[in-house]
Structure 1
Amino acid sequence: MVTPHPKQRGQQSEAAVLFEFVGRGLSVLQPFGDNERYDLVVEISGTFYRVQVKTGRLENGRVQFETRSSGTLTNKISKRGYDGEIDVFAVYSPERRETFVVPIEDAPETSMGLRVSAAQKQSPNINWAADYSVERWLETVGE
């Protein structure tokens, strides 16, 4: 299988997340153009949530994703966080065909892993993917 271009991979993840949210009966808005820091807006019980969609990579029993954006300025790569600009990350794992929702306040500044299988070493700092399921998020926001 040919690896898609990063833009195409992002579009595939956005489509998967959109399908997941709409399939659950949520109202989903899409901003016009590519200039917003969020990809979607979801309305739940009258509250709007700005959603940044990320593609997760399955690595060592975790779905790993970047919690900042990368851009190119001349010959330099610029990385920038999302603090104050989004409310949640919606992380789509193509290998698992599953979406996870991570509130911005739970996300570290650079990247995050969501554990989907048992770790070799136990640690209190493990972020279990099940804790970030779409169902769990909807329960916390009152859907």
Structure 2
Amino acid sequence: MKPKSRSPKRFRNTKRAGERSEAAFLHKASSLGFGVAKPWGDSERYDFILDNGRRLLRVQIKATDCLRARAYETRATYTVGKGRAVYSPADIDFLVAHVVPLDIWYVLPVEACIPAPMLRFYPHRKVRCASNSTAKPGTL
């Protein structure tokens, strides 16, 4: 059976883009020597559990290819009923943002996301001061 031909622009699917970023994260984290576990199903607030040899870390992956006002944007939130809630230390330890078009990864402790859940990344320019906009690609 031949796969259906789809135009990427007409059939943009954020869930599939997120799944691709999760697969890329799995490869990246395991190649860096982390033990990696994926929870069964998608009911947890985190996508992965990483073992860094000292402790287990709950990690949520957010993929973005959304460029608005010269920044790549994503949210540090999850859906609750018809609304949104901001991730907290009770939910996750780290949020990892993947800027898909540039294949750049940002690692943020969840505490950095609480005061400003709309995350904006400017990987194409140097920023002297701001909150999340100065986040540098990092490691756990």
User: TM-score normalized by structure 1?
Assistant: 0.77
Please tell me whether the aligned partners of residues 21 and 100 of structure 2 are also in contact (alpha carbons under 8 angstroms): yes
Report which of the two has the higher share of strand.
Answer: 1
What 5-or-longer segments of structure 2 have no aligned partner? 1-7
What 5-or-longer segments of structure 1 have no aligned partner? 139-143
Please tell me whether the aligned partners of residues 16 and 92 of structure 1 are also in contact (alpha carbons under 8 angstroms): no
Cα distance in 2, alignment partners of residues 28 and 103 from structure 1: 18
Cα distance in 1, alignment partners of residues 30 and 52 from structure 2: 12
Percent identity over paired residues: 23
> Could you say which residue in structure 1 is the equivalent of 2:102?
96
> Could you say which residue in structure 2 is the equivalent of 1:114?
121
Q: How many residues align?
A: 128
Q: Does 1:35 align with 2:40?
A: no
Please tell me whether the aligned partners of residues 128 and 134 of structure 2 are also in contact (alpha carbons under 8 angstroms): no
Give the structure, 1 or 2, with the largest relative contact order (CA under 8 Å, sep 6 or more): 1
Q: CA deviation at 1:60?
A: 3.7
Cα distance in 1, alignment partners of residues 101 and 46 from structure 2: 24
> Could you say which residue in structure 1 is the equivalent of 2:60?
52
User: TM-score normalized by structure 2?
Assistant: 0.78
